[in-house]
Amino acid sequence: MALLKILHFPDPRLQRVAQFVSVVDDALRQLAGDMAETMYAAPGIGLAATQVDHHICLVVIDISEEKNQLITLVNPEIVSQTGAKEGEEGCLSVPGIYDKVTRAEQVRIRALDLNGQPFELEAEGLLAVCIQHEIDHLQGRVFVDRLSRLKQMRIRKKLLKLDRETM
């Protein structure tokens, strides 16, 4: 296992649209394992492959307190969604920034597991938010893109400065 480098907004690589995974193999399982380790170490509750510069549809999520309920989603797709709710979000690619985003309240998704088997999952609350946030990453979007222009500019400035200072 290895820790992976997480890209920071406004890195243009975060805007790349991820490709569907055609084969679930050992290389993919290895990447998923490294992503989980990276997420736990950060610490965070979700990580999309896009954030570690792998542009394929792969996401890891664990919203549990004990960090023992890892969910890995290959090619996740939202099948249906209901409701709308505003909640505060953050992102490992946007360190130190939290803001309110409106998302569907409940989602039903379809994905493959790490054996290549399809499954469906119904989610609400934090898990639903997290799934939508990670699927956004796969489509080249960060939550900042859902905020006002003014906020986007402020965040961009702040993070560019921060990354310069810590380089």
86 is catalytic: no
- Give residues with Cβ within 8 angstroms of 163, minimum separation 6: 8
The phi-psi region of residue 64 (left if phi > 0; otherwise alpha if psi is between -120 and 50; otherwise beta) is: beta
Closest CB to Ni ion among residues 28, 142: 142
Three-class SS of residue 151? helix
Q: Which is nearer to Ni ion, 31 or 91 (CB)?
A: 91
Q: What angle do CA 46, 26, 11 make, to 5 degrees?
A: 40
Nearest approach, Cβ of residue 26 and Ni ion (Å): 26
Spatial contact of 61 and 130, defined as CB atoms under 8 Å apart: yes
| Residue in 23, 31, 57, 60 with CA at minimum distance from that of residue 43 | 60
Phi and psi, residue 89, nearest 5°: -125, 155
Q: Which is nearer to Ni ion, 91 or 123 (CB)?
A: 91
Write out the residues near Ni ion by the rule CB under 5 A.
Answer: 91
Q: Which CB sits closer to Ni ion, 24 or 128?
A: 128
Distance CA 129, CA 105 (A): 8
Q: Which residue among the candidates 37, 105, 134, 165 is catalytic per the annotation?
A: 134
> Annotated catalytic sites, by residue?
134
